[in-house]
Amino acid sequence: MYKTHDKCRICRGKNLKQFLDLGAMPPANSFLKEKDLAEKELKFPLRVLFCEDCGLSQLGEVVDPDILFKNYVYLSSGMPKKFSDHFKDYADEMVGRFIKSKEDLVVEIGSNDGILLSAFKNSARILGVDPAENIAKIANEKGIETIADYFSEKLAGGIAGKYGRAKIIAGNNVIMHINDYDDLFKGIKALLADDGVFVFEAPYMRDMFDNFAFDTVYHEHLSYLTARPFTKLFSRFGMEIFDIKEFPVHGVSLRICAGNIGKHQILPSVAEYLKSEKDMGLDKFEAYLELAEKISVIKKNVLSAIVDLKKNGKNIAVYGAPAKGNTLLNYLGAGRDIFDYAVDDLPSKIGSYTPGTRIPVISSEKARKNPPDYYLLLAWNYKDVILEKEKEFRQKGGKFIIFIPELEII
Ligand SMILES: [Zn+2]
């Protein structure tokens, strides 16, 4: 059901050194239904290793993707409006820079329910690929043609044969989920037009160093994005990065554009990111050990704060039930004994229980009828939206416990 990873995904080197061990935990998206509560949950080690040869941070264990992705509950279009705006701007920029005709093909890997592709719909032909059968079905019903499968060299060849080569291949919050980069890149080479663009977005690991957002570590995220190791990966496949930008989604995300060598002008941003990573020492193992030390301090501080509040008779709940929140909850080892419930308005999550810690998820409407004294904010990337939404709770004396970048009660 899982394999211990002993060879770097990018450079195949064996100099992998562990810097973080968050303990054994269930997959972060494996929310439980009432009927599952009697069953024992699957748990897997969650450790992060640093490759001393190329600098890629990657998980020590690779869980069978069928356990993680076949029945995914995360719907992109369920996200707040700032995300749909982000995808609209993203598509507009890509169309302006790279799309020449409505016949051009845009393929998205891990297209979810089609939130990005739908923004390309009026400008190009679109095709999604997503292994989650339930979500691919939703996308197809909405008119976003989606193949329910894993992207692979074989699938890519089939797509190229049937639809032609792609001007843009996009992958958002998916490239770090993929184990076999050789197969992925052979697939990209087989499908991408000679002057095409492979563009991907993923949370930037620098955010872990700036804001200690270690809760982005979970079993789906097999690798952690920094620019330097990826320059090596692309060069192995005759490709190069020609542009890097960052955006404030999921903390800070990078959008990396790459193409075949010599086909695009390399923008100054590429050298700037490589330099800033070197200046931060991200190519050295010591930086990662320091990070791990800071993470253990956050754990200690949050745990002692909530245990004290509980001792003083306060009611505590968690706000948001994002996948990443489950990393924190399981790392803290705090469940129903501490938290009365988790608030989340995603219909797919209401009525379920958090994996490992088994906290019941209820709607914000229901929570308002029985508000706690304190909320631990798990969905910290929506902090401003949530504080605004829960203005009344705060006016009545309710408090939020924020744990990233450091412990703060407001
Ligand atoms: Zn490596």
Structural domains in the chain, CATH included, are 76-279 (3.40.50.150), 286-409 (3.40.50.720)
Query: 229 CA to middle of ligand 1, Å?
Result: 7
Residue 76 in this model has a pLDDT that exceeds 80: no
Query: 235 CA to middle of ligand 1, Å?
Result: 14
What's the pLDDT tens digit per position in 195-224? 999 999 999 999 999 999 899 999 999 999
Query: 143 CA to middle of ligand 1, Å?
Result: 40
Residue 251 in this model has a pLDDT that exceeds 90: no
Quick one: which H or E segment has residue 42? none
Query: 13 CA to middle of ligand 1, Å?
Result: 5
Query: 58 CA to middle of ligand 1, Å?
Result: 9
Quick one: which H or E segment has residue 255? strand 253-260
Query: 306 CA to middle of ligand 1, Å?
Result: 39
Quick one: which H or E segment has residue 333? none
Query: 234 CA to middle of ligand 1, Å?
Result: 13
What's the pLDDT tens digit per position in 256-273? 999 999 999 999 999 999
What's the CA gap between 305 and 314, in Å, rounded? Answer: 11
What's the pLDDT tens digit per position in 311-342? 999 999 999 999 999 999 999 999 999 999 99
pTM for this entry:
0.91
Query: 59 CA to middle of ligand 1, Å?
Result: 12
Share of the chain above pLDDT 70, in %: 97
The DSSP bridge pattern shows strands 57-59 and 223-224 to be antiparallel
pLDDT of residue 348: 87
Which residue has 């803290």 as its token pair? 332
Query: 12 CA to middle of ligand 1, Å?
Result: 6
Query: 215 CA to middle of ligand 1, Å?
Result: 23
Query: 54 CA to middle of ligand 1, Å?
Result: 4
Query: 11 CA to middle of ligand 1, Å?
Result: 4
- The gap from C-alpha 141 to its chain's centroid, in whole angstroms, comes to 25
pLDDT of residue 249: 76
Which amino acid is present at 127?
L
SS3 (DSSP) at 359: coil
What's the pLDDT tens digit per position in 154-202? 999 999 999 999 999 999 999 999 999 999 999 999 999 999 999 999 9
